[in-house]
């Protein structure tokens, strides 16, 4: 669940009195747009509105700076239903915003999000915003750690800006306003809050940080976001048809969540647990069709329904079916394997040539693997099973290497060449 842009971001930031660029919606009249341009030094910015989260609009030529109302209306016509492609996503705009232009000789990037390294929220700050933060070298940005109970304080922001050699006349207004973002992040169920850029507007002898673009992501399982009063349909474009169908089976803990990564991928991963999810998603990259967490000890009926939906959507296009997870504490492996492999048996006609790789540990593991082996043997589906004493990382690399061999047409995979222990079962 994400939003980008100032149509709704304007409302979000106003909750904590963070200054934002003056924004008009697509319904603004010619006179209103003309007055906006006059108030902002003869320029305004026209941007398409994409429901859900999408970036790199500027690089795609979808942000226009205009100098009169006529140019603004031409830009509106061209951008209102603009198509934007980012990675594997292709989305269509639904409207535009007119935003007052803020002249500034500096652009600030600020981001609050959870850090896997620090295991808590952090604030990332740089004085070289306006571009992807990945393009900025590590020494030109600061990651601010703080106590999540109290949030980032003024001295955190002050010290970081000093280390970044921020001009002194900008530090005080930034110190005054940036800590407000934590209140927003912490109070409304956000998992990501990113302002890029924040431009410094001159107000007499002082400067005011003004947010000119925003990206915000929300935790769907945290009801705090509902207090914002945003229409729920603005989040619906985040879900593909597959995600919407499978997320009906969500639990209160969030298990069964899936994110479609690459519909053209070739590895269909069933991931169990947050650790397996993170590692597998990173290692498999674009070869992974989806990212998932099917843990939480689901009952047989639910696991089979989840597997059936997933297989119906993706088995036909996959080369490898990967079932991966750590050593479970409370998940019944036999129950989850029965659900997955019963669903596979009923859908195998979609792709009889699928290869199965399993890396798992936990209660009733041997019974679960034996059950899966018997089904796969009857179906004549090739498989490799790895038990609790096998490294998750190595098993994932095994599946990746197997997929590459299948892609090249060399199915035989030498264990010794990829540095893995022998599987528990292999066919």
d(C-alpha 347, C-alpha 379), whole Å = 11
- The answer to whether the peptide bond before residue 366 is cis (omega within 30 degrees of 0) is no
Residues 6+ apart with CB under 8 A from 70: none
The pLDDT of residue 139 is: 84
pTM of the model as a whole: 0.59
d(C-alpha 215, C-alpha 4), whole Å = 4
d(C-alpha 192, C-alpha 115), whole Å = 11
SS3 247: helix
The pLDDT of residue 418 is: 42
The pLDDT of residue 425 is: 63
Tokens of 147: 């106590």
Q: Which of 395, 106, 418, 138 is CA-nearest to residue 267?
A: 395
**Angle of CA points 380, 385, 390, to nearest 5°:** 170
The pLDDT of residue 86 is: 66
d(C-alpha 377, C-alpha 383), whole Å = 9
Domains and CATH numbers, the chain: 2-233 (3.30.470.110), 239-426 (3.40.50.261)
Distance of CA 242 to the CA centre of its chain: 16
| Beta strand pairing call for 320-327 and 267-272 | parallel
The pLDDT of residue 310 is: 93
Calculate Rg over the CA atoms of the chain: 25
The pLDDT of residue 253 is: 45
Complete edge-to-edge strand list for the sheet that includes strand 425-426: 267-272, 320-327, 355-361, 383-386, 425-426
Q: Which of 127, 141, 27, 155 is CA-nearest to residue 80?
A: 27
Residues 6+ apart with CB under 8 A from 290: 242, 258, 259, 260, 261, 265, 268, 269, 310, 314
DSSP assignment of 25-72 equals: ETT--HHHHHHHHHHTTT-EEEEE--SS----TTTTT--EEESSHHHH
d(C-alpha 390, C-alpha 420), whole Å = 8
The pLDDT of residue 417 is: 40
pLDDT tens-place values along the chain, 427 residues long: 678 888 888 889 999 999 999 999 999 999 999 999 999 999 999 999 887 666 667 777 789 999 999 999 999 999 998 888 766 566 778 889 999 999 999 999 999 998 877 788 999 999 988 777 777 888 888 999 999 998 999 999 999 999 999 999 999 999 999 999 999 999 998 999 999 899 999 988 899 999 999 988 888 778 888 888 887 666 655 566 777 677 666 543 444 467 788 889 999 999 988 777 888 888 998 899 988 888 888 899 999 999 999 999 999 999 999 999 988 877 899 999 999 999 999 999 999 999 999 999 999 999 999 999 999 999 999 999 998 888 899 999 999 999 999 998 765 554 434 445 556 666 6
d(C-alpha 270, C-alpha 278), whole Å = 12
φ and ψ of 81, to 5 deg? -120, 40
Q: Which residues are registered as beta bridge partners of 376?
A: none
The pLDDT of residue 409 is: 78
* Spatial contact of 188 and 218, defined as CB atoms under 8 Å apart: yes
d(C-alpha 309, C-alpha 245), whole Å = 8
Q: Which residue has the tokens 């070289």?
A: 128
Residues 6+ apart with CB under 8 A from 241: none
The pLDDT of residue 131 is: 73
């Amino acid at each position: 669940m994400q939003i980008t842009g100032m149509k709704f971001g304007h409302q979000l930031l106003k909750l904590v009195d963070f200054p934002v660029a003056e924004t008009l919606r697509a319904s603004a009249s010619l006179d209103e747009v003309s007055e906006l341009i006059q108030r902002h030094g003869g320029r305004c910015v026209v941007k398409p509105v994409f429901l859900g989260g999408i970036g790199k609009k500027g690089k795609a030529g979808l942000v226009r700076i205009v100098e009169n109302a006529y140019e603004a209306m031409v830009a509106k016509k061209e951008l209102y239903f603009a198509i934007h492609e980012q990675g594997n996503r292709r989305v269509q705009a639904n409207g535009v915003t007119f935003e007052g232009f803020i002249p500034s000789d500096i652009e600030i990037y600020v981001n609050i999000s959870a850090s896997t390294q620090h295991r808590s929220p952090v604030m990332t700050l740089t004085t070289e915003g306006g571009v992807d933060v990945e393009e900025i070298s590590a020494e030109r940005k600061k990651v601010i750690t703080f106590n999540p109970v109290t949030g980032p304080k003024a001295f955190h922001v002050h010290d970081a800006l000093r280390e970044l050699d921020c001009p002194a006349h900008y530090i005080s207004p930034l110190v005054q306003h940036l800590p407000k973002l934590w209140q927003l992040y912490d109070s409304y169920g956000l998992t990501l809050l990113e302002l890029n850029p924040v431009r410094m507007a001159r107000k007499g002898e002082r400067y005011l940080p003004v947010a000119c673009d925003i990206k915000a992501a929300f935790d769907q399982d945290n009801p705090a976001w509902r207090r914002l009063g945003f229409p729920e349909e603005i989040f619906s474009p985040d879900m593909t048809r597959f995600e919407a169908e499978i997320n009906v089976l969500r639990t209160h803990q969030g298990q069964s969540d899936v994110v479609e990564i690459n519909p053209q991928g070739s590895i269909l991963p069933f991931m169990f647990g947050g650790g397996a999810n993170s590692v597998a998603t990173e290692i498999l990259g674009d070869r992974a069709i989806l990212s998932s967490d099917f843990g939480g000890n689901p009952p047989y009926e639910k696991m089979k329904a989840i597997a059936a939906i997933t297989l119906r959507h993706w088995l036909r296009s996959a080369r490898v079916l990967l079932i991966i997870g750590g050593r479970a504490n409370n998940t019944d492996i036999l129950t989850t394997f029965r659900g997955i492999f019963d669903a596979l048996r009923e859908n195998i006609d979609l792709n009889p040539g699928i290869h199965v790789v399993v890396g798992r540990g936990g209660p009733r593991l041997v019974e679960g693997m034996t059950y899966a082996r018997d089904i796969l043997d009857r179906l004549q589906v090739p498989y490799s099973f790895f038990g609790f004493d096998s490294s998750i990382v190595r098993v994932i690399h095994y599946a990746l290497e197997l997929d590459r061999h299948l892609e090249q047409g060399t199915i035989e995979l030498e264990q010794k060449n990829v540095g893995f222990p022998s599987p528990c079962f292999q066919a």
